[in-house]
Structure 1
Amino acid sequence: MERQDCSGSQGPPQGRSGAQPRGIKQLPRFDAGVMETYLDELRDMKAKVYQMFREHPELLPNVEEGLSKEEHRELVRRSLKVILQAGYSPLDFLARDPRKYFYLGECLAMVDLSLMVKSGVQYSLWGGSVLNLGSEAHRRRYYDDIAQLRLPGCFAMTELKHGSNVAALQTEAVLDVLSDEWVVHTPDEGAIKWWIGNAAEDGRAATVFARLKVPDPNGGPKLVDHGVHAFVVPIRDANGSTLPGVEIRDCGYKVGLNGIDNGAIRFTHVRVPRGNLLDRFASVDKSGRYSSPLTSQARRFAATLGELTGGRVGLVAGSVGVLKGAITIAVRYACLRQQFGPPDCPEVAIIDYQSTQLRLMPILATAYGLHFARGLLTDKYVDMKRTREPRLVEEVHALSAGLKAYTTSYTQAALSTCREACGGHGYAAVNRLGALRSDHDIFQTFEGDNTVLLQQVSAMLLKEYRQQFAGAPLTATYHYLRSALLGALPNNPLVTHDTEPRHLRDPVFLAKALEYRTARMLFTLSLRLRKAGPRLGAFHAWNKCLEHVLDLANAYVESVVYKTFLRAVEGCVDPECRRALKAMSDLFALRLIENDMMFRNDEYIAPSKAKAISRLTVSLCSELRGVALPLVDAFAIPDHILRAPIGLGGNGGTGPQPDIYKEYLHAAGFEV
C-alpha cells in the first residue's frame, strides 16, 4: 500500500469533516537528506550506532513480550557491553568531547530509554561525579575501571525524605581522627538513600552525598557540620556481595524504566579512608582541619551542584530524541490512515483534517525548535567546561535547568497527544508510544524536579533584574529585559492592530512580543514580591506568587528557544529547507502568542489581530502538512530503531514505503 500523498493538491472540498480544501498554499518540497545534513553534523556516528543494533537485533527490547525487570536489566547490561566493544567509550566522550556524549544519549533514547539512563548513571552521574568533584588522584584511581565498566557505580544523592532539597540531606560522614577514616551512617529511616540507579544489582561503589562532620577544632563537645559533600563508598565486593554495614533493597517494579536496577541503601557505620572524600572544593587533613578555596558553605554547595549540570544536558538530549521519535510515528501514521470523506469520494488521510494538523504540526515545529535549543545548550556547556568563566557557569546552570524542565514537560504532553492522534492503534504496545510515555515520565522528576528547576530560573532572572536597576552592568544574555520594558509600546496602533501576514510573520515582531511577555512577567513578579515580602516574609511571599514564578521561567525558555530557532533559519542556505524552517519557527512563536491571554489583557494585541493570528496558525499548519513527511524523515530514525509498525517509513525515506497494515498484522501474529 502506498502512503497517502500529503501535498493536499488533490484534497476534497472543505466539508463538515474538516478535510483539507483544494488550492491551499503549499511549501515547496525539499530533500530530507539535505535537511538532515543541516540538522545533524554527527549523523555518521548515528548511522554507525544504529547499524550496530541492526547487527545485534537481540538487544532491541520487544515491548510486546513484557520483559520482567530481571530480563530487561540483563538486556541493558549486554547492550552497554556491546557499545564498549564497538569502540564507543561514553566516559571518554564525557571527558574529552561532550558533544558526542550527549549525542550518543539522544541516539540511545529511541533504542531503549533504560539503556540511555543506565549509561547516564554509570558515566555521567557516577563517573562524572568522580571526575568533576574529585582530584587528579581520584581520576587516576577510578577512571579506567569506570570507563570499561569494570567498576559499576551509583550516584547516591536522593533520600527517602529528601530529594530536591539536597542541602537538607541527613546521611552523615563523620571523621574518626584516630583511624583516619570517615564513618558513613544513615541516622534514621528517612535518610535511607532511595531510587539509586545501579544499586539493586550491579553497583560496586557509590558517590554518596552526606553531611561532612569533623571534631570541633576548639575542643567543643559537638561536631562541626560543614554541609553536604561527596564521598566514594564501596558497597559490594568483586563477587557482588554487599559489604559489611551496607544494606541494599530493590525498589521493585516502576511505572517505566524497568531496565534500571534502582535500589535503596542504608549505611550502618561504614568506614572508608579519609582520601575517599571527593575534595575538589574542600579537603580535610589528618587532624580534622577543614579547608576550602571557597569562603562559604553556600558557595561550596553551589559549586558542587554546578558541576553536575551535565546530567540535565543529557536529559534534554534524550527527551528531544524521544520527541522526534514520537512525532515521526504520529505523522507517518496520519499520512496513511484514511477516515471518512465527502459523499461518493475516497476516504481522506487523517492528516488532511484541520484538527489533526493543529495537533501535530505545532509538535513537529517544537521538536525542531528544541533540537536547535539542545545544540545551543550543548555548545554553552562545552564552552563552560573549557573556560570555567563564572558568568558562563551561571548561565549554563540556568539554561540547563530551564530547558530540562521545559523540554521534558513538553515531550511528556506531546507523547500523549501523539498517542491520541494515532487512535486505537496508538494504544497498542507494539507501536511504542505507550512505552515511551511510561519510560519518559520520570524525566520530569529526576536530575531536579521540574517545578523546582523552573523556580531556579526565575530566581536567576530576578537577581539579574535587581542588579540592572541597582546600576550593575547588563550582561549580554539578559540585557533585553530592560530594553523590552522601556521600548515596548502595547498601545501603538501599528503593533496592536496590524493583521497582515507580512507583519505577523516578521521575526522582529515575534521576537519582540516574546521578549515583552518575559519582561512584563518579570516586572510584575518583582512588584508582587516587593509588596508581599514585608507582610508575609520572603518564603510565604514566594509561595503566594509561585504560579507566576513558573510562568515566567517557561516564558523565558520559550523566548530563548525561538531566538535560537530563528538563528538556525537564518543559517540555512538551502532555500526550500529554509522556507520550511521559517514556517515552523513562525508557527512556534505564533502559537505561544495565541495561547497567552496576557497579550490581549495588556492590549498588546487587539481582538482583530488575535483572530488574524489564529487564522495564520491554521494556515501554517496546513502548509507544513504538505512537507511533514520529509520533515520527520530528516530526523533519520531507521525503521529497526523506531520499531513501530504504524510509523515505519522505509528507513527514514531511503527505501520503499512499507505496507504498515501488513507489518501490523504480522506483529499481531497473522499470516499475511
Structure 2
Amino acid sequence: MTAANHRLDLDTGFLGALLDGPHADKRHRGREVAEHADAHLPDDLTLDQKREATKDALHHVVDSGMTQLPLPVDAGGKNDHAGYVSGFEELVASSPSLQIKAGVQFGLFGGAIQHLGNAEQQAKWLLPALKGELLGSFAMTEIGHGSDVASLGTTALYDPADDSFVLHTPFRAATKEYIGNAACHAQAAVVFAKLIVDGVDHGVHVLFVPVRDEDGAPMPGVSFEDDGYKGGLPGVDNGRIAFDHVRVPRTNLLDRYGAVDADGVYSSPIESPGRRFFTMLSTLVQGRVSLDGAATVAEKLALDIAIRYGLERRQFSGAGDAETVLLDYGRHQRRLMPRLARAYADAFAHEKLLESFQAVFSGADDSEAAQQRLETEAAGFKAMTTWNALDTIQVCREACGGAGFMAENRLVGLHADLDVFATFEGDNTVLLQLVGKRLLGDYSEELRHIDFGGAARLIGSQAAEYSLYRSGLANVGRTIGDLFTPALNASRIRSGKMQEALLASRVESMVAQVAQDLRPAAKADPATAAALFNDNQHALIEAAQAYVELLKWQALNEAMHAVDAKAHPSEAKVLRRIRDLFGLSLIEEHIGWHIMFGRLSMARARQIGPAIDRLCRKLRDNAAELVGAFGYGPAQRRSAIAEGAEAERQEEAAEYLRRERAKADAPVDEKVLHRRRKAEAKAAKGAQKS
C-alpha cells in the first residue's frame, strides 16, 4: 500500500516547547515524578496495598517542590498558580490515583485553607497540609446533594454557651459521600455545612474539622464508611463521613468570606448571599482547571501508545509479500489522526485557560468579569476535555486490538481511572448547563443595547447565509456568504476564515434560538418557567458544547499563527494541517446542522470528508514526531507495545514466513513424494474400515 510522501522535516523539540507552554519546567518536574518506580501502581497489589502505595508516593510530589508554588512570595512561595497546576496534571503519567490523591490533599484541602482561611488559620494548618504532614479531605458532596451544593443538609449551629459550632448530619442523605482520603488517611477535613447563627441560616460555609486522632481512630461523633472498590482510581481511599453533634471551636470556621465574632454576630465582606456562595466555591475552579489539563495528558498518553503501535504492527498483505502497517490503512488514520488534532487543540486551549487562572488567582486581574469568564471556561473545558479523553482512550484501545486490552499496556487502566472525571468536580452535563446559562446572560445583556429592529434581526439569525457576530461570543465580522464562492475548491474548503465562520455561526444561531424559545418564561409562573427550561435544556447544552468547541479551535488557530513561518516553515505547515483537520472534523460532526440552516450547500458539504481524508494521510507521515512532541518516554508510557516489542515480534513472524516460503519453493524429491502419497492413501483406507 503506497501513497505520496507528505512527510515534513519537523523539530520535535520546538513543537514540544509550544505544547508545554510557559510552564514547561513545571511540567517536566511532574514527569520526573513519574520516573520513580514506587510512584507507579502495579496491578498485582491488593486494594489496601494500592492505597498505601499511593499515600506513600505523595512524598515524591512534596519533594518536587510543586506543592508550595502557589503560596505568596512572603510565605516562601512563587504565587505561581498556573505552574503549580501544570506540574500536578502531569502526575497522570505516573498514576491517575496519585494525581487525584495529590489534588485532594494539596489542591482541595490545602487550597481551601489558603483561599478561604485567615492568616492565623493558614499559619497553623497550611504548611503541614502542603508538606503532606497533615492529611485531609474536602468534604463537600453528600449522598442526596451531588452537584446541588447550595442544598447541602449538613448543619453547623453556633452555640454561644461554649463558643463553638455543633456540626451535625441530620439525615442519611446528608452524609458526606465519595470523599477522597476519608476511608483511611484523612486526619482532618474541610467540611461544607449550612451555617446557622441565632436561628438564621447564612448558607453554606466551610469549617476545619479534626476527624481522626493521632492513632488514626475516629474523633468522638465522627463516623466513617469505606466506599471500597470503584470502577477506577484504586489508590484513592474514597469514603463517607457523618457527624453526630460534633463540637468545633468557632475559630475553626474558615472565615475569609463569612465570620462569627465572640459575641455571636455574623458578618461578611460580600453582601449578596448568592455571590458569597459562589465566591466560597472558587476552590472548585482550580480542581476543574487541573482536570481539564489532566484529561489532556491522558489523551496524549493514549495517542502516544496507539500511534507508536500503529507504526509497527502489520496486518494483512498489501502490495508484494510485506504485510501492511496499521497506520497505512485509511480507516486507521481516520480513527487516530482527528483525535490527535483534537489533543493538540485541547492542549493549546488549556494553556489559554491557565493564563486566565493565573491572572485571577494571583490577583493580577481578579475582577468579577475575569472571575466569571474563568468559571465559565473552566466548567466548559473540564466537561468537553474529559469526554474527549474517554473517547480517545477507548478508540486507542480498540486501535491496538487485543494488545490494547492487556492491562500492561495501560489503556484499559487509563480509561477506568478517567471514567469518573466526567462526574466529579461537577457533573459534565451540569457544568455545560452553567456555560449555557452564562451565554444566555451575555446574549440578553447585549440585547439591551440593540434597537427593536436589530433585536428582531438577531432573533431571526437562523436565516440561511446570515449571521450577526458579537464580541461576547466571536468577533469574526463577516457573514458566511461573504466568505464562500460557487467555485469553492479543495484549498478554499480549508480556509481558516471559513472554519471560524461556520463554528461561530452555529454558536450564535443556537444561543439565539434558545433565547427566543425561553422568552415566555420571563412572565410565566415558576412551574411553567421550569417546564419550559426543561424542554430547552438539551438545546442549551448543545449550544454550550458548540461554544467550547469554538474556543478550542480559536486557541489552536492562535497557536498556529504565533509560529514564525519563515523561521519554522515545517512546524507552521504541520500546525495548519492539524488546525484544519480539527476544524473540518468539527464541521463534519455537525454537518446536518450546517446543511439544514443553509451554512453549507450539499455540494460544498460533500467536500468536507475527502478533505479530512487527505489531511489524515498527510499527518500520518509525521505521526511519530507529533506524538514525540508530547514529551513522554518509556518511564511515563510504561506500555510494552509502544516500546518496540511489537516490532521484534513482527520481525520474528516475518523470518518464520521467509523460512516456510523457502521450504515451499524448494524442489521436492519424486521418490519421497511417492512414498508420502502411498502412506496417506493407506492411512485413509484404514480409517474407512474402522
TM-score by length of 2: 0.86
Distance 2:208 2:150 in 1: 19
Distance 1:509 1:557 in 2: 18
Q: Post-superposition shift, 1:88?
A: 1.8
Tell me if 1:33 matches 2:5: no
Q: Please tell me whether the aligned partners of residues 645 and 664 of structure 1 are also in contact (alpha carbons under 8 angstroms).
A: no
Distance 1:120 1:291 in 2: 31
Q: Please tell me whether the aligned partners of residues 38 and 57 of structure 2 are also in contact (alpha carbons under 8 angstroms).
A: no
Tell me if 1:409 matches 2:404: no
Distance 1:94 1:407 in 2: 28
- Structure 1, unaligned runs of 5 or more: 1-10, 13-21, 216-222, 649-656, 666-672
Distance 2:64 2:594 in 1: 53
SS in 2 for 1:182: strand
For 2:215, the equivalent position in structure 1 comes to 239
Q: Post-superposition shift, 1:343?
A: 6.0
Change (3 A) 1:278 1:169: same
Question: 5 Å matches for 1:240-279?
Answer: 240-279=216-255
Tell me if 1:541 matches 2:517: no
Distance 1:565 1:417 in 2: 22
Q: Please tell me whether the aligned partners of residues 200 and 251 of structure 1 are also in contact (alpha carbons under 8 angstroms).
A: yes
Q: Please tell me whether the aligned partners of residues 188 and 209 of structure 2 are also in contact (alpha carbons under 8 angstroms).
A: yes
Question: 5 Å matches for 1:88-107?
Answer: 88-93=65-70, 96-107=79-90
For 1:608, the equivalent position in structure 2 comes to 603
- Structure 2, unaligned runs of 5 or more: 73-78, 452-468, 653-690
Tell me if 1:138 matches 2:132: no
AA at the equivalent of 2:484:
V
AA at the equivalent of 1:116:
Q
Distance 1:567 1:483 in 2: 14
Q: Post-superposition shift, 1:531?
A: 4.4
Distance 2:29 2:216 in 1: 34
Change (3 A) 1:87 1:359: closer
For 2:686, the equivalent position in structure 1 comes to none
Distance 1:284 1:291 in 2: 6
For 1:128, the equivalent position in structure 2 comes to 111
**Which has the higher mean CA deviation after the structures are superposed, 577-586 or 280-289?**
280-289
Distance 1:129 1:664 in 2: 56
Q: Post-superposition shift, 1:308?
A: 2.7
Distance 2:555 2:570 in 1: 20
Change (3 A) 1:69 1:642: same
Whichever of the two has the greater Rg, that structure is 2
Q: Please tell me whether the aligned partners of residues 329 and 644 of structure 1 are also in contact (alpha carbons under 8 angstroms).
A: yes
Q: Please tell me whether the aligned partners of residues 464 and 478 of structure 1 are also in contact (alpha carbons under 8 angstroms).
A: no
Tell me if 1:432 matches 2:423: no
Change (3 A) 1:302 1:500: same
Distance 1:562 1:529 in 2: 29
Q: Note the alpha carbon deviations across 1:363-385, whole angstroms, 9 max, x for none.
A: 10011111001100011100112
Q: Post-superposition shift, 1:214?
A: 1.1
For 1:668, the equivalent position in structure 2 comes to none
Q: Post-superposition shift, 1:297?
A: 1.5
AA at the equivalent of 1:382:
Q
For 1:501, the equivalent position in structure 2 comes to 490
AA at the equivalent of 1:80:
L
**Which has the higher mean CA deviation after the structures are superposed, 27-36 or 636-645?**
27-36
Q: Post-superposition shift, 1:155?
A: 0.3
Q: Post-superposition shift, 1:134?
A: 1.4
Aligned pair partner of 1:568 in 538, 559, 562? 559
Q: Note the alpha carbon deviations across 1:303-345, whole angstroms, 9 max, x for none.
A: 1113431110110111111000001111111111111133643
For 2:40, the equivalent position in structure 1 comes to 60
For 1:516, the equivalent position in structure 2 comes to 505
AA at the equivalent of 1:191:
A
Change (3 A) 1:494 1:512: closer
Q: Note the alpha carbon deviations across 1:188-219, whole angstroms, 9 max, x for none.
A: 1010100110111111111100000011xxxx
AA at the equivalent of 2:208:
V
Overall identity of the aligned pairs, in %? 35
Distance 1:495 1:480 in 2: 24
Tell me if 1:181 matches 2:173: no
Change (3 A) 1:478 1:72: farther
For 1:389, the equivalent position in structure 2 comes to 367
Change (3 A) 1:53 1:361: closer
Aligned pair partner of 1:351 in 323, 327, 330? 327
Change (3 A) 1:504 1:519: same
Q: Post-superposition shift, 1:496?
A: 6.8
Tell me if 1:530 matches 2:519: yes
Q: Post-superposition shift, 1:442?
A: 0.4
Equivalent residue pairs, number: 620
Please, what is the CA RMSD of the aligned residues?
2.2
Q: Please tell me whether the aligned partners of residues 483 and 498 of structure 2 are also in contact (alpha carbons under 8 angstroms).
A: no
Q: Please tell me whether the aligned partners of residues 53 and 59 of structure 1 are also in contact (alpha carbons under 8 angstroms).
A: yes
Change (3 A) 1:167 1:366: same
For 2:571, the equivalent position in structure 1 comes to 577
Change (3 A) 1:446 1:51: closer
Q: Please tell me whether the aligned partners of residues 646 and 664 of structure 1 are also in contact (alpha carbons under 8 angstroms).
A: no
Q: Please tell me whether the aligned partners of residues 172 and 185 of structure 1 are also in contact (alpha carbons under 8 angstroms).
A: yes
Question: 5 Å matches for 1:261-660?
Answer: 261-342=237-318, 344-385=320-361, 386=363, 387-471=365-449, 479=471, 481=473, 487-489=478-480, 492=481, 495=484, 497-531=486-520, 537-573=528-564, 574-596=568-590, 597-648=592-643
Distance 2:25 2:162 in 1: 54
AA at the equivalent of 2:293:
A
For 2:657, the equivalent position in structure 1 comes to none
Distance 2:125 2:278 in 1: 25
TM-score by length of 1: 0.89
Q: Note the alpha carbon deviations across 1:565-585, whole angstroms, 9 max, x for none.
A: 111001123211111111111
